[in-house]
Every structure is written in C-alpha cells, then in structure tokens.
Amino acid sequence: MALIELRNVVKVYRSGSVETIALRGIDLEIYRGDLVAIMGPSGSGKSTLLNIMGLLDRPTKGLVLIDGIDVSKLSDRELAKIRNRKIGFVFQQFNLINRLTVYENIELPLIARGVPPSKRRAMVLEALKKAGGDPSWLRKRPNQLSGGQQQRVAIARAIVGSPDIILADEPTGNLDRTSAKIVVQTFLELNRVGHTIVIVTHDPEVANCCRDIFVIRDGRIVDLLEPDPSRCIVNTAR
C-alpha cells in the first residue's frame, strides 16, 4: 500500500471570475522508504502538489490518501493531527521564528503533540544531531546562524516527532553549494534510517540524488526519470 496516494487530483484557484488551474488530474503513489524528487518550471504546480500531499491544502477534485486514510473526509482538526504526527515540512525560507531560540523552534511540534517538557530535551537533541547540527546552537536565535545552519535547524524541527514523511520545498534554494551538499547529505542519511522523503527542487544535482524524479509541467506529471547518481551534488567521486 502506498504511503501517499493521489488519484485524479485537480486544484483550481478562484479569484472573482478568474480561474487558475494549478493541477490537472494528478495520479501519484509514494511508498514507504521512497526518496523522490519533483521537478518542473516555475508555475508548473510543484508547490501546490506538495501542499496537497502535506495536507496544507485540499484538492478541488480527486482523492488524497495518507497511509490508506482518505483525508478528504477529515475535519481540519483531524488533518492537523495527521500533519503533526506523520508529516515533517522543510521550506526554502526556513520558516524559523527569530524571537525563539533554536531549542524552542525545534520543540514546537512536540508542544503541539502534548509531549511533556521532561521528554522534549532528549528528543530535540537527537533531532538536531540527526540533522547534522551542533548542540551549541540551541541557545542561539536562528538569525545568529548561517543559512545552511538554519536549514539544518529546520530539518531538526521537521523530524523531531519522527514523522513517516518529510516534504521539502526547494530546501537548497537559498543555500550556497557547500551548505546545499550538507543538507542533501542529511536527507540521504534520514532516508537510510526509514524516512520517506519528497523534495521539490529546480536543481538537477539535488534531484539526481533521489531514486525517482517526477517531472511536472502545466499541472500534469509528464515524465518519470531515472536519476543519474554520478550527477548527485554529494557524489564522492567528484
């Protein structure tokens, strides 16, 4: 059974009398343990697709199933519960809160889940370690860190609750090449320990680190490419 399954998913945005069709009948299956890239030009529907997979948006038409559950029948509260327990998000802009410390940013999903404070510290430390971060960052504010360090904090926040699924929207888009390599290596290591990862990216050197590359254009998946590992950004043969 697919961990994420989309059946004939259509998404239409309406503004007054104007309709914009973002997705045009998407069929997609992501299985547990997959490492998938989604590529396509700007405006092709990549982020909309990711938002629907992550239950941040609802399709206009079609079915979305998460671990076999038809989420179209769920309330907003039930969707939020699934997001908190099953899905971790990583964004291009990091989406960290600068008035909070790194520790406080990472623990936010645990607070939402109701994890008691006595258990949070060990979980935060473990997540930051898995994300390639340093415990010395915990008392700092995000804006005291480099872009690459902030993205590793964002990854730690995404994985602190051990979600089945990690959805990453252009996670290397604001990073220099060295930082991008570290972030991609982190994703590869997380995938090796069982996380299912979907990465939206413009960068073929990031996409080629994945196992499958879906190409989306004009709201449709038009191709499934086999990656070339020799073109992966973290290829040790370089």
Q: Mind listing the pLDDT tens digit for each residue in 100-138?
A: 999 999 999 999 889 999 999 999 999 999 998 999 999
Q: Which CATH number fits domain 32-58+76-231: 3.30.56.10, 3.40.50.300, 1.10.10.10, 3.40.50.2300?
A: 3.40.50.300
Tell me how far apart the alpha carbons of residues 170 and 47 are, in angstroms, rounded to a whole number. 9
Give the neighbor-by-neighbor strand order of the sheet with 4-15.
18-30, 4-15, 61-66, 69-70
* pTM of the predicted protein model: 0.92
Q: Tell me the sheet residues that pair with 161.
A: none
Where are the domains positioned within the chain? 32-58+76-231
Tell me how far apart the alpha carbons of residues 81 and 132 are, in angstroms, rounded to a whole number. 27
Q: Which two tokens mark 81?
A: 């519960």
Residue 196 CB neighbours (<10 A):
22
Tell me how far apart the alpha carbons of residues 55 and 223 are, in angstroms, rounded to a whole number. 24
* pLDDT tens over the chain, length 238 residues: 899 999 999 999 998 889 999 999 999 999 999 999 999 999 999 999 999 999 999 999 999 999 999 998 899 999 999 998 899 999 988 999 999 999 999 999 999 889 999 999 999 999 999 998 999 999 999 999 999 999 999 999 999 999 999 999 999 998 999 999 999 999 999 999 999 999 999 999 999 999 999 999 999 999 999 999 999 999 744 4
Question: Which pLDDT score is estimated for 237?
Answer: 46
Determine contact, residues 104/110, Cβ cutoff 8 Å.
no
The beta-strand segments (E) located in 97-191 are: 165-169
Question: Which pLDDT score is estimated for 238?
Answer: 41
Cβ contacts of 185 within 8 Å, gap of 6 or more? 132, 234
Q: What is the dihedral of CA 188, 189, 195, 200, to 10 degrees?
A: -30
Chain center to CA of 53: 10
Determine contact, residues 23/219, Cβ cutoff 8 Å.
yes
